Structure 1
């Protein structure tokens, strides 16, 4: 039997391309031949989304993508989200474990109840934001945010988790009370069957949530995130995912900064 080390480099690359990005990185540590095979474009092109060139053609990376190897492009997109679309109010990245697509819709793409002055302010070049502007709440008595994203831009046959990304200012109010959240497909109606509650302010949650999915987590980029829900994307080109959050009580809400809603493949 011929050992792997006796095969041509092209054959080794082809075999590695059927594994995963993490397996390819492990293979590169075996020996010089495997490192060369594992670093080839044959391997990393397979890990990238099939429509990656189309996605990047409408991004800030369009002018430089042809100068990057497929491996460098993969790691660039798995560590640094890029802005895509004509309005640059959506960001794109890939999951470093699977190569599947991740998207965040910025605040400008969300439907925010009473989302204009004097209730909300649009702040440009907010610190740590990947977008040009964010939505900052001054005060409102009815908190409701809805995000919509087309399923055809997501990875198919994939379970996604949706997250609300935000920050609370020191003088924020109202967000210690329960917030209702739900993820559903357009056409499922306004049923509250899949709704659950969470709190966006962990300083004084009332009442305390039941599990960590209903508590906010600190992100690596300095923002907070709360899981809205998850869904399985098997809708092809025809689906629309709706992510909704709203306050259960008519109280004074203030002091939240909204970055957006992010969809990531479930870990």
Structure 2
């Protein structure tokens, strides 16, 4: 004979001591777990669900300054009857802030802050020179504008973000988000240098490719159909280090669910809120022709555990 729902819950109470605690105490305990843990525990029984859904629990998962962040949204944020519903909304949707230069969301696993710096919020060498870079809009982008590379030989893109606006004591990873046009050139055979560090402090550069399936071409075999304009040619390879060997470890991009590629730039731990974090992607050594790159921006989100 199957047990009734009430009998099942009575058996659950006999096997746990949580039911002996006031709901407010249970809520305090749950607040020390994670959003995922709380959602799972809410399915155990109705009496535990009441504590798991309480605002006192979900207030701990929301950033302490979430009200001021929401107030800076360019679009109205819906009002929700509970903080849990607000958390779910913020972790499944992004909204533009800082006059549309950045987007904000929450990591659904941890509740940590996630920021996305648009191309307009980045420093792009010669980004305002129409011969080298153009600006356009794409329906698949979250931002009003993206940067489109016409042609350059010196590629340098970097951005900064204050550690104080990120979640404290958290490991973050930065990703360069982009697309390659069908007629792109120079990214399947040439490597980039990427780094994440403190602004004003020299960071170790890592080697990465923007093309998911690059072809290694030795320097003495590489020929470009384009020639850098004089007097750039004379200085194109000045102070250039050795080309990486085929056996070196490279970073490769991954295709995102939204159709963009992302390339990991590096990690940073928010131990000092006064730090200004610099995120960089560049090729300032090879002097090779590059074109057909579309830049959406740089995303900063908590590192995967």
TM-score when normalising by structure 1: 0.91
Q: 1:35 aligns with which of 49, 66, 69?
A: 49
State the match for 2:278 in structure 1: 242
Q: 1:258 aligns with which of 295, 298, 302?
A: 295
Cα deviation, 1:162-216, whole Å, max 9, x if unaligned, reads 110001111111112110111110231xx3x5111111012334365855x7000
SS of equivalent residue, structure 2 residue 100: coil
Matched-pair contact (CA < 8 Å) for 2:161–2:276: yes
Mapped to 2, the partners of 1:210 and 1:24 lie a distance apart of 43
1:170 aligns to 2:182 (yes or no): yes
* Deviation of 1:9 (Å): 2.6
Mapped to 1, the partners of 2:281 and 2:110 lie a distance apart of 29
Matched-pair contact (CA < 8 Å) for 2:196–2:267: yes
Structure in which a larger fraction of residues adopt strand? 1
- Report the count of equivalent residues: 259
Mapped to 1, the partners of 2:247 and 2:154 lie a distance apart of 21
User: Root-mean-square deviation (CA), in Å?
Assistant: 1.9
* Deviation of 1:7 (Å): 2.9
Mapped to 2, the partners of 1:61 and 1:33 lie a distance apart of 37
SS of equivalent residue, structure 1 residue 214: coil
User: Closer, same or farther in 2 for the Cα pair 1:49/1:172, shift >3 Å?
Assistant: same
1:179 aligns to 2:192 (yes or no): yes
Structure 1: runs of 5 or more not aligned: none
Structure 1 runs of 4+ aligned residues shifted over 4 Å read 207-211
Matched-pair contact (CA < 8 Å) for 1:215–1:226: yes
Structure 2: runs of 5 or more not aligned: 1-13, 218-245
